[in-house]
Amino acid sequence: MLSFPNCKINLGLRILRRRPDGYHDLETIFYPLPLCDALECIRENGEPRFTAYGLPIPGDPDHNLCLRAWQLLKKDFPGLPAVHIHLLKNIPIGAGLGGGSADGAWTLKALDTQFHLGLSQEQLLQYAAQLGSDCPFFILNTPCLGGGRGERLTPVTLDLSAYSIALVDPGIHISTAKAFSLCTPAENPTPLTSIIARPVPQWRDQVVNDFEQPIFQLHPELAAIKPTLYAHGALYASLTGSGSSFFAIFPKDQAPARPGFHFSHNYRILR
């Protein structure tokens, strides 16, 4: 079975408070974008296995979220057959785009469909939450307000199809744990749902990602990306997640082909 896990961006990300369990409560708007990996699950004799090509994936392949998704389902469905999970990795890794989370969540959905497990959306959400904080979003895969660790989701009405969205991947892997350690939690005085109800040009300086300033301290070379996007006509630009990727919202078909970034930056326009 072939599927295409997509990425996400965060429209604002506020770190509200540190929790007793060591995690943080946050507030963000998840928005799906059509930059995709390709995921294939094939029934396999013997043990399940994971292979990948495209962008290199760091870490032990045996601990990949796709295999962990299979293992979660196997516990509750002993008859689930082994599979060969094959991934074409296209979404940049460690970039705040949720690519790994998407792959894990889409594996749950693919196995449910392929082997007729009959899981409800709520059950898929529960499995996804065991994989990671961002994984439940990719079960719904529609614009959502994220609360708690990001796993508490409320769909919101938001359609950016009238704009072009550009992604900038500087190719720097950001440690989410390190990024969180540099943030100072604070309550958000204005709910994000109220701000995104305003016209996109009014989001500048209002839709805030709390990771930006700490990440700029860690990697000063990233600080010029956001003003460059604004200088080339962006209506709104921001770091996504804990970075290092940025996104910019432009009027339809007005995103510049080359904003003048250093050659190592991967720049893509999504319409």
Residue 19 pLDDT > 90, yes or no? no
pTM reported for the whole predicted model: 0.94
- Is 190 found in the same domain as 60? no
- Is 101 found in the same domain as 11? yes
Token digits for 21?
């369990």
Structural domain harbouring 249: 163-270
**CA distances from residue 21 to 24, 125, 137, 148 in whole angstroms, order as listed:** 8, 21, 21, 12
Among residues 129, 155, 181, the one where a domain terminates is 155
pLDDT in tens, 79-132: 999 999 999 999 998 889 999 999 999 999 999 999 999 999 999 999 999 999
From the centroid of its chain, how far is CA 12?
13
Residue 265 pLDDT > 90, yes or no? no
Among residues 155, 186, 211, the one where a domain terminates is 155
- Is 122 found in the same domain as 79? yes
- Is 46 found in the same domain as 143? yes
| β-strands 144-147, 152-155 pairing | antiparallel
Nearest residue to 129 (alpha-carbon basis) of 93, 159, 104, 110: 104
- Is 122 found in the same domain as 56? yes
- Which residues does the annotation mark as catalytic? 8, 134
pLDDT averaged over the chain? 93
Banded pLDDT at 136 (limits 50, 70, 90): very high
Q: Please identify which residue in the block is written with the tokens 């009027």.
A: 251
pLDDT in tens, 211-261: 999 899 888 989 999 999 999 999 999 999 988 999 999 999 999 988 877
pLDDT computed for residue 263 by the predictor: 58
- Is 149 found in the same domain as 168? no
- The CATH number of residue 264's host domain is 3.30.70.890
Count of domains for the chain:
2
- Is 195 found in the same domain as 128? no
Answer for the pair 104, 41: CB distance below 8 angstroms, yes or no: no
**Can you tell me the distance from the alpha carbon of 87 to that of 75, in angstroms, rounded to the nearest whole number?**
23
- Is 254 found in the same domain as 121? no
Q: How many CB atoms lie within 10 A of CB 221?
A: 12
| β-strands 152-155, 38-43 pairing | unpaired
Nearest residue to 112 (alpha-carbon basis) of 98, 97, 133, 126: 126
- Is 117 found in the same domain as 16? yes
Residue 71 pLDDT > 90, yes or no? yes
Answer for the pair 244, 170: CB distance below 8 angstroms, yes or no: yes
- Is 29 found in the same domain as 110? yes
Among residues 155, 182, 208, the one where a domain terminates is 155
Answer for the pair 77, 117: CB distance below 8 angstroms, yes or no: yes
**Can you tell me the distance from the alpha carbon of 19 to that of 13, in angstroms, rounded to the nearest whole number?**
17
- Is 168 found in the same domain as 149? no
- The CATH number of residue 88's host domain is 3.30.230.10
- Is 178 found in the same domain as 138? no
Nearest residue to 94 (alpha-carbon basis) of 158, 175, 17: 175
pLDDT computed for residue 116 by the predictor: 98
pLDDT in tens, 181-210: 888 888 888 999 999 999 999 999 999 999
